[in-house]
Amino acid sequence: MQSPWVQRTLAIIYPPRCLGCGGLVENTMGLCGDCWRDTSFIAGLTCGKCGTPLPGESDTGETCDDCLRISRPWGAGRSVFQYRGTGRKLVLALKHGDQHDIVGPAAIWMARAARELMENDTLIIPVPLHPWRLLKRRYNQSGLLANALAKRTGHQFCGDALMRVRHTESLDGKNRDARFATLTNAITANPKRAAMIEGRNILIVDDVMTSGATLAAATEACFTAKAAEVRVVALARAGKDT
């Protein structure tokens, strides 16, 4: 813990900046008023599989159109905000900009969004990046999020529970069917982590859920490794209109 004096001094040398626009803010937690309003945080009634906001107020385990049509092998899923406006900016900064300041606040938001998905024995793991891409990018942004979420909630974290078994082309610009075809069997459980996964409740963390193909492949890999239950949480949910 930093002393108040150190905190004050740091605040003078490095005044806290907004994660969205870089403007000065009053606390280190995040976003200026404008960027906060421009972030589509998800609240109210949501799809139980992906966290997309739904119209209406009942909470009887509703499912969005996408999740009715597309295979969602996991039990339940949540997302923090929609992939647009400041939310999109934050995800892209984390992915491509080496902007890791967002990880702390993101862990707090994800802990809140996924609180009903975690049990005492939950193991928190990231969607895996292929080693080549990891080499290029130097870090797995979902791994950073998963690790921070585990620290925040006191759950066990495993960064290499899942692995990519073959290099897959970038999913950018591909339609849903192509994404699913590319990813089928592209993810497997790490044999060294088999004992950790078997019988466990798993929470898989991803930065953005778009088609859900990556999360579906990751979920199947956990079930193949005999996980008891698999749930997912994404920082951002990219819907049809994004």
154, 122 Cβ separation under 8 angstroms: no
Name the minimum Å distance from CB 174 to Zn ion: 20
Question: Does 18 sit near Zn ion (CB under 5 A)?
Answer: yes
Judged by CB under 5 A, the residue of 21, 54, 92, 108 near Zn ion is 21
Name the minimum Å distance from CB 193 to Zn ion: 29
Q: Which of these ranges, 28-36, 113-121, 178-186, 189-197, lies near Zn ion under the rule CB under 5 A?
A: 28-36
Burial of 232 (0-12, 13-18, 19+ CB in 10 A): buried
Name the minimum Å distance from CB 36 to Zn ion: 8
77, 233 Cβ separation under 8 angstroms: yes
Give residues 111-140 in contact with Zn ion (rule: CB under 5 A): none
Q: At what angle do helices 213-224 and 176-183 cross, to 10 degrees?
A: 30
Which string of x and - marks every residue 150-189 that binds Zn ion (by CB under 5 A)? ----------------------------------------
Q: Which of these ranges, 34-42, 95-103, 196-204, 218-226, lies near Zn ion under the rule CB under 5 A?
A: 34-42
Displacement of CA 38 from its chain's centroid (Å): 20
The residues, ordered by sequence, that sit 6+ positions from 166 with a Cβ below 8 Å of its Cβ are: 186
Compute the CA torsion angle 174, 176, 179, 183 (nearest 10 deg): 170
Residue type for 192, please?
K
Give residues 48-77 in contact with Zn ion (rule: CB under 5 A): 49-50, 52, 64, 67
State the residues that interact with Zn ion by CB under 5 A: 18, 20-21, 23, 32, 35, 47, 49-50, 52, 64, 67
